Amino acid sequence: MTTAAEAVSVLRASAVRGRTGVVVFDTVGAFTAALDEARTGGAAVGLVPTMGSLHAGHASLISRARAECDVVAVTVFVNPTQFDDVADLAAYPRDPDGDVELAGSAGADMVLMPAVEEVYPEGSATVVSLPSLSGSFEGESRPGHFDGVATVVAKLFAMTGRCRAYFGEKDYQQLALVRTMARDLCLPVEVIGCPTVRDADGLALSSRNARLSVEQRKAAPVLYRALLAGRRAIECGSRDRSAVESIMRGVIGQEPLARLDYAAAVDASDLSSPDELGGAVRLLVAARVGAVRLIDNLGTFATTPELAHPGRRQSVTTSPVAPQHRLDDERHPQ
């Protein structure tokens, strides 16, 4: 693997001669030292934390970091503390060689691929927990999951130092938790949320999609259709949270291969569940398609009647019109 001095040399050469390939680290010390040296020279660092099995969604994060930062670092680490099912951890797809190739082609300068012992040394006892954001939805379905996420991301931020960190909006609850954690711990990290990348049929890109059978893959876009139906209901005037959630549940219920976990309409800023929706709203769904658990979300805005038509009453309906594929906050690979 690469020493800090070699990494800095490669990064300097890249700045002079153009891209020279991605540098791979397996130790935290060398990775941190290389980034410290880069910042000493005035470089702005972009970080893309991942669990590997990289796909076009990850590539979009890396490409954005490349466009906005001088040095781009990707971390590939399947974090054991965020899994509540040993079988799920064992089944999680891994492709280290492919990950390095994709990261480099998308614009990464370096990749950290540490062993578990590098991230969690013997005797590790510290856990980062945000109960106000981790007890519902994914946190309720996967006890302890977000403690593992918050802890490992805090560690990755500490290893990287001052940077801009890029996360996809597909894991919206995770994004909210990471932003809050970085703010509350005064970490020198700007957390950037990036739009979800989808296949042509609307399915959000995920490493878990590779575990779907052909029939399950055909069924999986039902999550996105449920979100579109919920958004359309809000666009048509519904402000009743329960009614919107019922519409989304109904769409999922029409797919025999899908087993709903939750369908929720929440305040986009704090994930609370007001009876009456208003302002920025995030629609969340989770379901199992076969044995594979998938999540997705979509943003919308619930304008109050007074804001939409000042001085005029507006009728409200909870009946959704057939959803239209407006993708102004989503990205489809070309």
Q: For residue 310, what pLDDT is reported?
A: 47
Question: Do 13 and 121 have their domain in common?
Answer: yes
Among 55, 58, 309, 332, the active-site one is 58
Q: What are phi and psi of 155, to 5 degrees?
A: -65, -45
Question: Do 311 and 286 have their domain in common?
Answer: yes
Q: How are beta strands 163-168 and 45-50 bridged, if at all?
A: parallel
* CB neighbour list of residue 167: distance below 8 Å, 6 or more residues apart: 49, 61, 174, 175, 178, 191, 192, 193, 194
Assigned domain for 47 exists: yes
- Residue 213 is part of a domain; what is its CATH number? 3.30.1300.10
Is 286 within 8 Å of 257 (Cβ atoms)? no
Each residue's pLDDT, cut to its tens digit, for the chain (334 residues) gives 655 555 556 565 544 434 448 999 999 999 999 999 999 999 999 999 999 999 999 999 999 999 999 999 999 999 999 998 888 889 888 999 999 999 999 999 999 999 999 999 999 999 999 999 999 999 998 899 999 999 999 999 999 999 999 999 999 999 999 999 999 999 999 999 999 999 999 999 998 999 999 999 999 999 999 999 999 999 999 999 999 999 999 999 999 999 999 999 999 999 999 999 999 999 999 999 999 999 999 999 998 765 544 444 343 333 333 333 333 345 665 4
Burial status of residue 250 (CB atoms within 10 A of its CB: 0-12, 13-18, 19 or more): middle
The domain of 175 spans 4-194
Nearest residue to 46 via CA among 22, 75, 21: 75
Specify the pTM. 0.85
Catalytic residue list contains 58:
yes
Question: Do 130 and 275 have their domain in common?
Answer: no
Q: How many domains does the chain have?
A: 2
Question: Do 257 and 284 have their domain in common?
Answer: yes
Question: Do 145 and 190 have their domain in common?
Answer: yes
Residue type, 9: S
